[in-house]
Amino acid sequence: MGFDRESYHRTKQELADILEKKLGVQVYTESFLADKEQLFCLARDSVGKKLYSAGTGSAERLDLPDPGRKSLVNETLTVFESPLSSANAARLRKKFTHLAPSVIGIHSSAGFGDRLGCATPGHVRALLNSSGESGFFRPVFAQQSTRENLRTGRSSLEVIDDAMWGVMQSGWKDGYGADADHLKTTIEISECLRNGYTFFTIDPGDHVKNVDASLGGTSLDEELELLPWDRLETSWPDLRGRLAGKPLRCGERVFELDESSMAVAAVKYGRAVAHTVEMYRHLLDLSDGKKDSFELEVSVDETESPTTAEEHLYIATELRRLGVEWQSLAPRFPGRFEKGVDYQAEPSLEIESSLNELKQSFISHAAIARHFGPYKISLHSGSDKFLAYPLLSEAAGELVHLKTAGTSYLEALRVTSVKDPGFFRKAHQFAVSRYPEDKASYHVSADLDLASDTLKMDDSELVSVFDSLHDRQILHVTFGSLLNDSELKGRLLEILDSQEEQYYDFLDAHFRKHLEPFMA
pLDDT bracket for residue 125 (50, 70, 90) = very high
Cα distance between residue 138 and residue 215, in whole Å:
42
Tell whether the model's pLDDT for residue 61 goes beyond 70: no
* 399 within 8 A of 366, measured Cβ to Cβ: yes
- The pLDDT of residue 215 is 57
- The pLDDT of residue 214 is 53
> What are the C-alpha distances in Å from 89 to residues 64, 83, 161, 191, 318?
9, 10, 6, 18, 41
- The pLDDT of residue 89 is 98
Q: One of 161, 179, 188, 297 is an active-site residue; which one?
A: 297
Q: Burial level of 308, CB count in 10 A (0-12/13-18/19+)?
A: buried
pLDDT tens digits for range 342-397? 999 999 999 999 999 999 999 999 999 999 999 999 999 999 999 999 999 999 99
Phi-psi region of 106 (alpha: psi -120 to 50; beta: other; left: phi over 0): beta
Confidence (pTM): 0.95
Cα distance between residue 85 and residue 164, in whole Å:
11
Query: What are the two backbone dihedrals, phi and then psi, of residue 388, each rounded to the nearest 5 degrees?
Result: -85, -25
pLDDT tens digits for range 472-517? 999 999 999 999 999 999 999 999 999 999 999 999 999 999 999 9
Say whether 181 is catalytic.
yes
pLDDT tens digits for range 274-310? 999 999 999 999 999 999 999 999 999 878 899 999 9
pLDDT tens digits for range 234-265? 999 999 999 999 999 999 999 999 999 999 99
- The pLDDT of residue 217 is 52
| Percent residues over pLDDT 70 in the chain | 96
Q: One of 162, 181, 203, 420 is an active-site residue; which one?
A: 181
Cα distance between residue 279 and residue 402, in whole Å:
23
Per DSSP bridges, beta strands 328-330 and 295-299 are: parallel
Q: Burial level of 43, CB count in 10 A (0-12/13-18/19+)?
A: buried
Tell whether the model's pLDDT for residue 212 goes beyond 70: no
| Residue type present at position 240 | R
